[in-house]
Copies of this chain bind each other. A is one copy, B any other.
């Protein structure tokens, strides 16, 4: 069975988005990106749980897991379980269509979109030697009502990502208005200081990814203490080891930020193994 379509909207291959959709009009929705392995979403329970929580943060009732799973089965082929084939799914849930004006309609039907794309080909050096980061001038704004949520208002990430064109730079470090490290444009961050693994506090800004949560959860197995804390840029640059993570590549070591370099160590690879990314 061939799956040549790239996306599915409300379970239908022939749909499109209305310009009256509040996702288009206002970024009134949330999204997630995940690996599809052998035709099925990897870590689906965690992704679905986060999708429901993010929808709830802005007052959207998330479509059921069953409905979304039936969409996955329409868009992706369930492969032989021995297959190594990996693809990427992006799920977007918006509040649905509405009239002009910020006030949500009294009754709305959320729009659900699943987009299929190819798994990115990460450079071998990213696995072997680590990745280089840029420190972005664009700083994240503080908004407690949206902090942690992967919503569709992503202009800050775009402005930050537009700051560099050097393809040797993998991602950009985002600071908050006070100059504390929060995350990267598409990754979360962990800084290891001896046996303590610090990840920035995301209570005012940033996206709390599920791979960040999974790394916190498995760190004790490595005799590391995961700690959510404020992390200044200067302190981060003194870390014994620096790791970034997301749901597609798992974890990479950071090898270079500006003039600061780190020698290759084992933690990123260990996390990839533990989280089944290698």
Query: Which residues of A pack against B, CB within 8 Å?
Result: 6-7, 9, 16-28, 31, 33, 58-59, 88, 90, 92, 99-104, 113, 115, 117, 138-139, 141-143, 145-146, 151-162, 177, 185-186, 205
CA distance A19 to B162 in the complex (A): 21
- Chain B residues positioned under 8 Å from A117 (CB to CB): 99-100
CA distance A201 to B256 in the complex (A): 40
Is the Cβ of B142 less than 8 Å from the Cβ of A138?
no
Is the Cβ of B102 less than 8 Å from the Cβ of A25?
no
User: 14 A-B contacts, Cβ less than 8 Å apart?
Assistant: A9-B19, A23-B24, A25-B92, A26-B154, A27-B27, A33-B100, A99-B117, A102-B158, A104-B158, A138-B145, A142-B142, A143-B156, A146-B155, A153-B155
Which residue of chain B has the shortest Cβ distance to A159 in the bound complex? B145
- Chain B residues positioned under 8 Å from A7 (CB to CB): 19-20
- Given A23-B24, A143-B156, A159-B58, A100 contacting B113 (CB threshold 8 A): no
- Chain B residues positioned under 8 Å from A58 (CB to CB): 155, 158-159
Is the Cβ of B26 less than 8 Å from the Cβ of A162?
no
